[in-house]
Amino acid sequence: MPTADPGGTGPGAGFGPGVVHLCIDMQRLFGPDSPWTLPWMGRILSAAVRLAEHDPARTVFTRFIPPRRAEDAGGTWRPYFEKWPEVTREHMDDDLLRLVPALERFAPPARVLDKPVYSPWHGGGLDRLLEGRGIHTVILSGGETDICVLAAVFGAVDRGYRVILASDALCSAFDATHDAAMRIYRRRLTVQVEVLSVADILARGAAAGGGEQTAPGRVPPRQAPSPGAKP
């Protein structure tokens, strides 16, 4: 990935070498017209856009791709998709798999990585994308805080990456489990995970390696989850 000036804070200023922004599953699949809608994804979208536009070439978007049919899934994923047949690919509009429009415009130069499970590290594609590039810091945004982002955090920690969670660019279907996950990040992973607002990441140079842990950013107002929200 090209190196941009780490000293700036505006769009395109860049994170500097050694940093990647990993934006998790900000897809139309979780938008307002889906059975898996995340009611407050829209409230954190502008924060995710700020990170992506700061350095599109150092941004990787992941997409959760369900199987075509429930019976194509292995293990406990089969009963999972039997519970949610409407989001298997034989029943859904393929456009729902796309990134939301506000983020899709950054790819390319941003990379898009598809995954069939919660973790973006599954299958080794993300490892192959990052290895040899001198990456030491992973900034995380997207959703859900307590499922796919959680899997991304532990995969990054296991690999020894410094992890920065963009606190105001994370979302979930359920407030209680979002808050519980944030408590784990802040209280149990203090050496390996930092929780910063997008403003702090961009303005204080945390992404470039010069920042320090600060008070967590304010989480945007949330709405109650819809009855069909993804578990």
Indicate whether 107 pLDDT > 60: yes
Retrieve residue 7's tokens.
């000293």
Helix (H) or strand (E) holding 140: strand 137-143
- Which residue in the block uniquely carries the two structure tokens 């860049």? 14
Higher pLDDT, 211 or 175: 175
Q: Which of 100, 118, 77 is nearest to 30 (CA)?
A: 100
Higher pLDDT, 66 or 16: 66
pLDDT category at 205 given cuts 50, 70, 90 is low
pLDDT in tens, 29-71: 998 878 888 888 989 999 999 999 999 999 999 999 999 999 9
The winner for highest mean pLDDT among 8-12, 92-96, 151-155, 200-204 is 151-155
pLDDT category at 204 given cuts 50, 70, 90 is low
Retrieve residue 224's tokens.
């109650």
Indicate whether 76 pLDDT > 60: yes
Listed range (33-42, 48-57, 88-97, 174-183) with the worst mean pLDDT: 33-42
CA angle 7, 105, 27 (to 5 degrees): 105
The pLDDT value recorded for residue 8 is 46
CA angle 181, 221, 62 (to 5 degrees): 55
Residue ranges and CATH numbers for the domains of the chain are: 19-63+99-203 (3.40.50.850)
Burial of 230 (0-12, 13-18, 19+ CB in 10 A): buried
